[in-house]
Each structure stands twice: as structure tokens, then as C-alpha cells.
Amino acid sequence: MTPTSTPIQSVSLYFREGPSDKEYHAAIEPHDDGFIVTFAFGRRGSTLNTGVKTESPVSLAEATKVFDKLVASKIAKGYRALGGSFTPYQQSGDEGRDTGVRCQLLNPIEKDEVNRLLADDRYCLQEKHDGRRLLVRKRGDEITGINRRGLVVSIPEPIRQAVAAIPLDVLIDGEAVGDTLHAFDLLEVNGNDLRQRRYMDRHSGLLMVIPPNQQALRWVSTAVDSRDKFEIYEDLRQGKREGVVFKDVNAPFSPGHPNSGGPQLKHKFVESASFVVTARNARRSVSLGLYDGDTLVPAGNVTIPPNHAVPAVGEVVDVSYLYAFSESGSIYQPVYIGKRCDIPATECTTDQLKYKSTGEAAA
């Protein structure tokens, strides 16, 4: 994949009305022997969805025609220009290619297991950031974004610039929240594979690689001492953050998702899961489904807020909830979070759900 050149033409638009606060960016960019029209959109302050309007490189005249039509359609819907034009995401038309890189995925744990790990100095504690999994690889001047499925994705321009400033070739793993990558692992440096080293050794290397006081690229704060872990855990819980992650400080990197347990575990303060949209209902509501084996079973409904587009049938969405009813499988007090383009429908299973306890039912 060759680095994206400076855009020939670009525009940044925004739409604000009531609770809606959205942005849309489009650009004409050189690619191979022609030009492509790229776009990025979503709620302001979030990690944006990206894509390419032209299936393959076209002439500048054709790209301009596509670009002008796209911009006109957004302005007709009430979008207005931001001050200045820029491309917030670097794209190449190579999005969706499998890089062969695989993430280390975490299994959830319950509260009783949390207390044990807080007291165990073999496990460090980190905040679980509420964003999208993103790995960034730097090889010379080439910067590549990789999602949790190992596919090439576009990355926010501030993150790209921050990684480009690192004087070494690296592969960094983290969670993207808006235009900031919260980095928690270092997998490669200058062609050397670090995956078999202890986690704390890899994390120490991360601290040396990332310059301090970076806005777009930050290493995740990590606590090992049990007293520090108890204090940080309580601060995060009371601060209504998403949750915490525990990592075995001596464990190597293990790609994939263990059937149970594993050296890296997560605990959420608020339950959430990924669902398949099975139907669009009236009044901005959609029906949700989960796979129980090979069968897609109903899991309730959720209302889509005005600042989000109503997802299409078959798309994957994240929803937070209080608990699920074991009798019906439906979730209670669902709150829509957003679409997930990086999770296949087959991973939306009933195993994700936390069900209402017997004590709660008796109450």
C-alpha cells in the first residue's frame, strides 16, 4: 500500500440541529494512475466511519463530478462548511485488505473474580477505553491502520501524524477514541517481533517509543501494586467509566480469543453487546437478534437517537443494557451506542449476554 498523496480537493462539512452534531469529510485523492473520492462521517468527537465512493481510480473529471454530486447532496440535507478544508482520515483505496495481523481478544469476568485479580500482583490493571480497537503499523513512510479483524482501515489524520513522528518502525496496539489512540501494547520494533516477550517488557518498550505529552497518541496508564489497583478501580467505577482490563504481566502475546479465561481479561461496569439488526420498526426503533448456535433469535428492540442514522437490516450495532431476561433473551433498558463495521454478524452470539440473577428476580 502506497501512502496517500495530498488531496487535490477536499471539504469538511458539519450538521448541528437539536441533539444532532455530525461531521462529513470528502476529498479527491491521487491513486495509482487516476483519482479516488474518499469520505469520512459520523458524530463529532467519535472515531469516524470511512469509505471510498469510486470503486476504482477514475479520471480527474469523473472524480470531480462524483465529488461535486456528493457535496451537493450533503448541503441539500443541511450540512454547512467548516472553517478550512482538510482530510481528517488518510485513505488509499486499500481498505478491507487482510494484513495477516491478529488481535489478542479478552474474555469478560464477573465481580467476584475482579476482587481476586485486584489483590494479585501478577496482574496489572488498566482502564478499558470506550472506543474502537486499532493497531497502527509504521514501515518507513507507510502508515497502516488495522482493525480487530486484521483488515486495513483508514485512521484519523492526527493519529497518523503522531505515529509518523516516531523515528522507528513499529506495530502499536490500542483503542481509538475520536482522534486519540490509547496505546497499550507494542508488538514490533524495527522488524523485531516482540510478541513472545513478557507483557510488562512490551509495555515498557511502548513508554520508550511514544513521546510524552502527545494528544493523539497516549500510552495507557498501568498499575501493578494491589493498593494502587484498588484505588484506581474505585475511581473508575465511581466515575462511570466503561470498565477495567487485567493483564498477566509475565504472559506473551496470544492472538485470538480463548474459549475461556486467558492472560488478559476485562470487566465492564455497564453491560454491552453487539447485535444484528433484524428489522426496522416505527419511530426510529430497530429489532435486535443474536445467534444461538446457527439460529438467529430475538433479543429485543432499541431506539436510535436522532444524532445517529437508523442502521439497515443485517448491520451490526453495539447496545448497552442493564441485564437480559433468561426467559425471553430480551435486554432490559437498552441504549444504542452505534454501528460496528469491524465485527461480523457471526460473532453476535447469546454468549455475550449477562442475565438477570435469581436475587434480582425475587426482588
pLDDT value for 212: 80
Task: Report the DSSP pairing between strands 20-31 and 295-303.
Answer: unpaired
CATH number for the domain formed by residue range(s) 107-268: 3.30.470.30
CB atoms closer than 10 angstroms to residue 317? 22
* For the chain, counts of helices (H) and of strands (E): 6, 26
3-state secondary structure 38-70: EEEEEECCCCCEEEECCCCCECHHHHHHHHHHH
What does the pLDDT average to over 344-349? Answer: 90
Angle (deg, nearest 10), helices 111-119 and 226-238 = 140
The pLDDT value recorded for residue 50 is: 82
pLDDT greater than 60 at residue 100: yes
Rounded to 5 degrees, φ, ψ at 235 are: -60, -45
Determine the pLDDT at residue 1. 36
Question: Which three cell numbers, joined as nine digits, stand for 212?
Answer: 510524552
Structure-model confidence comparison of residues 315 and 178, the more confident one? 315
- Mean pLDDT across the chain, nearest whole number? 86
Q: Which one, of 156, 31, 33, 190, lies nearest residue 87 by Cα?
A: 156
CATH of domain 9-90: 2.20.140.10
pLDDT at residue 143, rounded to an integer: 93
* pLDDT value at 126 more than 70: yes
CA distances for 76 relative to 19, 79, 85, angstroms: 19, 7, 19
Confidence check: pLDDT of 323 > 80: yes
The predicted model scores a pTM of 0.64
Distances (CA, A) of 34 to 28, 55, 90, 211, 275: 10, 12, 17, 37, 39
- Residue entry with cell 513472545: 196
pLDDT tens per residue, range 194-251 = 999 999 999 999 999 998 888 899 999 999 999 999 999 999 988 878 899 999 999 9
The domain locations on the chain are 9-90, 107-268, 271-362
Instruction: Give pLDDT tens digits for 243-293.
Output: 999 999 999 999 988 888 899 999 988 888 999 999 999 889 999 999 998
Strands 107-108, 264-268: pairing is parallel
Average pLDDT over residues 330-340: 91
Q: Which of 251, 260, 319 is nearest to 285 (CA)?
A: 319
Q: Domain 271-362 classified CATH 2.40.128.50? A: no
Binning pLDDT at 50, 70 and 90, where does residue 299 land?
A: very high
